[in-house]
């Protein structure tokens, strides 16, 4: 992992050295969302698409979906097909870190050119409105009584949703390997299973459930953040010592020159500071977590270590 962070640090330095006047946004971009439509990566890619175009930063932006294996199928395709192409981007993040470990992927983030960490989002724990589970205490009681009887719908195995469910189980004294976690490759599929009562509980980014929470079709039990509201109490507020944030990043193709990388860093920096992107963050309850250089390297190292530990607890990592 350190190799791609080092590349990013060099790229960031190149951005400063070249100066804003020498940088130019590409006229077109293709952004890969390595997941099915409807999930957080798909929403990130399509939000980037609309904001880049509406702000006049990039004239033509296309989004492609390549789902499967926590983003590692899309990542492998991206690495193999886009080398040296400065018009290709891929979104990813915390879920991909876990998936690379869990799937023992031969392709990793060391094989792409990182551009920036963009956003952070807390997970939400929800149940259908008709569920007899009214509170997290009700869910915990069921989990303690029979962990296997509580089915969790979320994203890919080893991803942030799976990790959050495992941490919750561990925090309340339940063996994390006993949880009944059902992974879905896209948020739309998971949502359908939750609304259809095919699973006990859903866990995913708050933004993915907002519409159904607002309409009353889903009941929000908790969020995995450090602070909450009356409508969205945190796990910690309810005596469960768990805090998890799903961060998302954007990376570019391997084999880019420092100048090409600097252009893309500048393009994303312009995006992040645009009013259009700020409106996206507000509408989806995403936090601006832009981070680069040595601070990002330190953060990522910590995330990899923590992710490896919980995946071992879940019986996924060796």
Domain ranges within the chain, ordered by starting residue: 2-120+246-313, 122-238
pLDDT in tens, 97-135: 988 988 889 999 889 988 889 998 899 999 999 999 999
- Bigger pLDDT: 39 vs 169: 169
**Residue 20 pLDDT more than 50?**
no
Confidence band of 23 (pLDDT split at 50, 70, 90): low
Same fold? 2-120+246-313, 122-238: yes
Superfamily, domain 122-238 = Periplasmic binding protein-like II (3.40.190.10)
Confidence band of 31 (pLDDT split at 50, 70, 90): very high
- Separation of alpha carbons 121 and 204, rounded Å: 10
Q: CATH assignment of 2-120+246-313?
A: 3.40.190.150
Residue at token pair 């702000």? 55
Q: How many CB atoms lie within 10 A of CB 66?
A: 18
Q: How far is CA 158 from the centre of its chain?
A: 12
- Count of positions (residues) in the chain: 318
């Amino acid at each position: 992992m350190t190799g791609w962070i080092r590349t990013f640090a060099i790229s960031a330095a190149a951005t400063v050295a070249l100066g804003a006047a020498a940088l130019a946004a590409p006229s077109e971009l293709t952004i890969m969302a390595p997941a099915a439509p409807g999930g957080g990566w798909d929403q990130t890619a399509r939000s980037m698409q609309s904001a880049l175009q509406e702000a006049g930063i990039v004239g033509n932006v296309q989004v492609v979906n390549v789902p499967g294996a926590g983003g590692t199928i899309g990542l492998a395709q991206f690495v193999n097909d886009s080398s040296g192409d400065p018009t290709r981007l891929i979104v990813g993040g915390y879920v991909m870190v876990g998936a690379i470990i869990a799937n023992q992927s031969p392709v990793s983030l060391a094989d792409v050119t990182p551009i920036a960490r963009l956003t952070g989002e807390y997970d939400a724990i929800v149940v259908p409105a008709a569920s007899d589970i009214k509170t997290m205490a009700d869910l915990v009681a069921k989990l303690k009584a029979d962990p296997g009887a509580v089915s969790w719908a979320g994203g890919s195995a080893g991803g942030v949703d799976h990790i959050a469910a495992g941490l919750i189980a561990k925090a309340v004294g339940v063996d994390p390997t006993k949880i009944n976690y059902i992974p879905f490759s896209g948020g739309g599929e998971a949502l359908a299973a939750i609304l259809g009562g095919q699973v006990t509980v859903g866990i995913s980014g708050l933004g993915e459930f907002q519409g159904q929470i607002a309409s009353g079709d889903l009941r929000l039990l908790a969020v995995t953040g450090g602070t909450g509201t009356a409508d969205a109490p945190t796990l910690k507020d309810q005596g469960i010592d768990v805090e998890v944030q799903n961060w998302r990043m954007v990376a570019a193709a391997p084999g880019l020159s420092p100048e090409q990388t600097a252009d893309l860093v500048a393009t994303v920096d312009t995006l992040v500071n645009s009013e259009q992107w700020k409106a996206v963050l507000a509408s989806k309850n995403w936090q601006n977590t832009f981070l680069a250089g040595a601070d990002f390297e330190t953060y990522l190292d910590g995330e990899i270590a923590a992710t490896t530990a919980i995946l071992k607890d879940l019986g996924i990592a060796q």
